[in-house]
Amino acid sequence: MIKLAVVGATGRMGTRVLALAAEDDRFEAVAALTGRDDPKFGVTIPFRDKSLTATDQCEADFDVMVDFSIPAGTMAWLPVCVERNKPMVIGPTGFTDEQLAAIDEAGHTIPVLKATNFSLGVNLLLSLVADAASKLGDGYDIEIIEHHHNRKVDAPSGTAKSLLHSVLESTGRDRGSDVIYGREGETGLRPPREVGVHAVRMGDVVGLHEVHFGGQGESVMLQHRATSRDTFASGALRAAEWLVGQGAGRYDMRDVLGLR
């Protein structure tokens, strides 16, 4: 049985990770972690026939830490995983370059799996987008549109950034000169290699990502719609199970799903 420590345990994703883990006899939750500034700090979280207390201390021995907090939370718990030589699954987005460098550095010591999205469908979409962008070529305009709920604090989403990376990597476009985030005013003619990235924030949208390819006389759209956070939570548990026993290194969901 894999012993889980869940960071962000009282949040939307952490709650679902614990709920799904409770239904899966491969997992045992041993720590529910959150910050002292969390209004739910100290609450009792039921897990099968026991209860966990949402706290900022982790005295329990764990096999893998699953983090769905915020970048500051990741930075607080990453050194703990390094010190205890335990793998870490990282789900937050919106990291600074300095924070990303710290995650990379930790990967020299422990297994670290960071993903912008844990769903099978999205990770398949990343491969499909790269293939389409490469094959369609410069004759097709590319626009990336992401939709999320009105409480999401970073934009564009981490998944949109991953989709953009797939386009840039497969076509040789340049992030500095070929990418535009939204448009306003007199924009002039659209440059042939431009990639537009747009963020929509409204209501309770779980997640919708679209990549549009517009050519002369036709258009192609690749889309992924999430209707439940459980698709991400189950993917995170799959990642946690896979990561236990891996060697030190930096991984993502394509490693888990064999899509590399």
Catalytic residue annotation: 148, 152
Around 164, how many Cα atoms within 13 Å sit in the side-chain half-sphere? 24
Helices (H), 153-252: 158-171, 175-178, 230-243
| Owner of token pair 């293939």 | 131
- On whether the CB atoms of residues 240 and 28 are closer than 8 A, the answer is no
Sheet holding 27-33, edge to edge: 44-47, 50-55, 27-33, 2-7, 64-67, 88-90, 111-114, 249-251
Identify which of 102, 206, 103 has the alpha carbon closest to the alpha carbon of residue 159.
206
Residue 23: exposure state from Cβ atoms within 10 A (0-12, 13-18, ≥19): exposed
CA distance 106 to 65: 14
Q: For residue 123, which amino acid is it?
A: N
